[in-house]
Amino acid sequence: MYRRTVLKSFAALPLLSLSPPPLAQPAAKAVAPRRVRPADAAWPGAAEWQKLRAAVGGNLLQVHALFGPCEGSPDGAACQDVYRNIRNPFYIGDQPGGTQVSGYLNAWTPAPSVWAVRARHAADVAAAVNFARDHNLRLVVKGGAHSYLGTSSAPDSLLIWTRAMKQVTLHDAFVARGCEGKAPGVPAVSTGAGAMWIDLYSAVTTRAGRYVQGGGCTSVGVAGLIQSGGFGSFSKAFGNAAAGLLEAELVTADGRVRIANACTNPDLFWALKGGGGGTFGVVTRLTLRTHALPEYFGAAWGAVKAKSDDAFRRLIARFLAFYAGSLANPHWGEQVAVQSDNSLKISMVQQGLSREEARAVWKPFFDWIGASADYTVTDPLGAGAHKAQHWWEIEGNPSMIPDVRADAAPGHGWWQGDQDQVGAYLHGYDSLWLPASLLKESVQPRLAQALFAASRHKEVGLHFNKGLAFAAPEAIQASLDTAMNPGVTEAFALAIIADGERPSYPGMKRPPMDLEAARNDARAIDQATQELRDVAPEAGSYLSESNYFNNNWRQAYFGDHYPKLQAIKKKYDPDGLFFVHNGVGSEEWSADGFTRLSGTRA
Ligand SMILES: Cc1cc2nc3c(=O)[nH]c(=O)nc-3n(C[C@H](O)[C@H](O)[C@H](O)COP(=O)(O)OP(=O)(O)OC[C@H]3O[C@@H](n4cnc5c(N)ncnc54)[C@H](O)[C@@H]3O)c2cc1C
């Protein structure tokens, strides 16, 4: 109930292919060094792999696709196990070949690495990095596997899989290495890079009564989210997740284990805060600031449908005025959806207000709806709150689905509202940071009209917690000290327009996709996005939740920070060992990351 799915209608559309051709990478020109593939003579032989296996304590795994066990034995127990668990994000994350997204039309398809190092600590990671570099292999890094852009999946590669590094430790007064005597100790939490946010929320909030800023989806990896900037329901109060980073341990392309914080390698530290995962090195440990826990977390919910287009326009306009007057503050985050059937769906979340206070905030808006014959409440409207410390408890929480596998870690579960996203196949995806200037009274009618026009093509999700205008001043300040596009601090929301269908992993048995319908869906997403771009032509986009085909990704993701990020990339990874689609420095490589484009060598 408290979290909503981004992809609403995963009904039964079938689908796949042809939206715009991949624009982001220049067409492969001729090239200088090419990474090796298994069919190449230079691919390491058995004895070489054996050396790596020994160096990582035996933790070298052969990787198969998620539905690999079904090849040849569709009725076997192993295959049935995959089908039984394929809607469980924790199960998917536990598989070395698992990806939480089952593909993206015309963009990418999950493909297992050849080998994976199941890293236990930085030394394992260093061994794998050295091996990949010395043998000229395509390297890929995976934590929680929640990449919409497919950046933790690459065929013919060596995978560094961080899943096993998940120890969580709390500190009363953490001082970053090298900062002794320069900064006071602060309450913090350290975690292995393979932990998921639920691991931190359980340790920090449920068990210790404090707060750490992370992501909304409980099974997202900590390291992946921090490196993409990262937002959770309460980011309007605490900033983006990267803003809370105090220190990282990572292995760079030269195989060195480094510390990055405000006093040691500060350039690298800044780049890790939102400069993109899989780009600057392999993070092995993170330390994040913790905060006093608000007394209450709560929500507002419901859905209302207008009886005519005109009435829907008025509803959108009324909501925007209500948002600007009553919700644009550090209390309120999460979403409303402006839907194509003239419905407004409310899935907002708040921190710091009691049940009575939350209800009082929403009363005027709910009363206005109730007083008009133009609207039908299709899902009861309400607002409330409860003790914040119980927010991420799984047991007895009707909003959570527990991981009930026999070997599941205690306290693992996911929001009901996120279920539809598990294993989703994307037809299209886009996002824009909508500037707060659009909420000025004189401009609101234009925004309302644009939202209405966009919704004729596709549902628009307004994620208020993913834009930091109206956030707490300290949160804005800390977020400005990250590599994320600074435009995020001037945006009142991230508009997300995305859709897809149920899982469609390679090798999975299901009805064939209706490719025509999928292409039409992708086109509708583009058209809806264009309606919003017309009123926000300079809008940036959140790298982790963005269009694979965004040709303007450097500016959209990072704004004026890109040249600085590029310089840091060249300093720590001059030969481009770390490559991800639309990542810093990726313009020097072919789309698959195997071939360095001529004339681009550092
Ligand atoms: C269903 C779903 C829900 C989401 N919900 C949210 C949300 O609520 N808030 C939000 O801000 N974002 C959200 N995202 C986006 C998500 O935060 C990013 O995609 C994030 O990068 C995922 O991290 P991961 O470790 O789970 O994924 P992975 O796919 O494992 O990694 C993502 C990227 O980070 C790199 N990476 C991972 N671990 C490391 C490491 N240790 N060192 C170096 N690089 C690494 C990978 O190489 C890859 O490029 C969501 C995504 C999905 C699919």
CA distance 285 to 167: 9
pLDDT in tens, 229-268: 999 999 999 999 999 999 999 999 999 999 999 999 999 9
Q: Is pTM beyond 0.85 here?
A: yes
For residue 196, the SS3 value is strand
State the pairing for strand pair 157-161/115-118: parallel
Counted residue by residue, the chain has a size of: 602
- Reply yes or no on whether the pLDDT at 45 is more than 90: yes
Element (H, E) at 279: none
- Reply yes or no on whether the pLDDT at 568 is more than 90: yes
- Reply yes or no on whether the pLDDT at 26 is more than 50: no
224 CA distance to ligand 1 centroid (A)?
4
Supply the mean pLDDT for the chain: 94
- Reply yes or no on whether the pLDDT at 434 is more than 90: yes
- Reply yes or no on whether the pLDDT at 58 is more than 70: yes
Mutate which of 104, 227, 238, 431 to test ligand 1's pocket (most atoms within 8 Å of Cβ)? 227
What is the DSSP secondary-structure string of 458-492?
S-EEEEGGGS-TTS-HHHHHHHHTSSS-GGGGGEE
Looking at residue 120, what is its pLDDT? 98
- Reply yes or no on whether the pLDDT at 5 is more than 60: no
CA distance 397 to 375: 32
Closest ligand 1 atom number to CA of residue 141: 47
- Reply yes or no on whether the pLDDT at 24 is more than 70: no
The residues lining ligand 1, judged by C-beta closer than 6 Å to any ligand atom, are: 100-101, 141-148, 151-152, 162, 193, 215-217, 220-221, 223-225, 227-228, 230-231, 277-278, 282-283, 421, 544-545, 580
- Reply yes or no on whether the pLDDT at 11 is more than 90: no
145 CA distance to ligand 1 centroid (A)?
6
Mutate which of 7, 141, 286, 463 to test ligand 1's pocket (most atoms within 8 Å of Cβ)? 141
397 CA distance to ligand 1 centroid (A)?
25
Q: Within the chain, how many helices (H) and strands (E) appear?
A: 15, 23
578 CA distance to ligand 1 centroid (A)?
16
pLDDT in tens, 368-397: 999 999 999 999 999 999 999 999 999 999
Mutate which of 3, 99, 118, 142 to test ligand 1's pocket (most atoms within 8 Å of Cβ)? 142
206 CA distance to ligand 1 centroid (A)?
23
- The strand pairing partners of 49, in sequence order, are none
pLDDT in tens, 106-153: 999 999 999 999 999 999 999 999 999 999 999 999 999 999 999 999
Structure tokens at 236: 């309007």
64 CA distance to ligand 1 centroid (A)?
21
pLDDT in tens, 451-486: 999 999 999 999 999 999 999 999 999 999 999 999
Looking at residue 598, what is its pLDDT? 78
Average pLDDT score over residue span 483-496: 98
Helix axes 444-457, 515-535, angle to 10 degrees: 170
pLDDT in tens, 318-343: 999 999 999 999 999 999 999 999 99
601 CA distance to ligand 1 centroid (A)?
28
State the pairing for strand pair 491-501/425-435: antiparallel
10 CA distance to ligand 1 centroid (A)?
21
pLDDT band at residue 33 under the 50/70/90 scheme: confident
CA distance 344 to 361: 18
Q: Which residues of 285-321 are buried (b: 16+ CB within 10 A; e: fewer)?
A: bbbbbbbebbebbbbbbbbbbbeeeebbbbbbbbbbe
| Atom 15 of ligand 1, residue of closest alpha carbon | 544
Residue 412: which of 433, 397, 423, 424 has the closest Cα?
397
For residue 264, the SS3 value is coil
Closest ligand 1 atom number to CA of residue 583: 49
DSSP designation for 183: S
- Reply yes or no on whether the pLDDT at 13 is more than 60: no
pLDDT band at residue 20 under the 50/70/90 scheme: very low
Tokens 């309120």, residue located: 332
Residue 471: which of 333, 590, 586 has the closest Cα?
333
Helices (H), 188-332: 197-201, 222-227, 235-238, 266-272, 309-322
Structure tokens at 600: 């681009």
Average pLDDT score over residue span 23-45: 72
Whether the CB-CB separation of 501 and 426 falls below 8 Å is answered with no
DSSP designation for 416: G
pLDDT in tens, 504-549: 999 999 999 999 999 999 999 999 999 999 999 999 999 999 999 9
Mutate which of 108, 225, 240, 429 to test ligand 1's pocket (most atoms within 8 Å of Cβ)? 225
Looking at residue 341, what is its pLDDT? 98
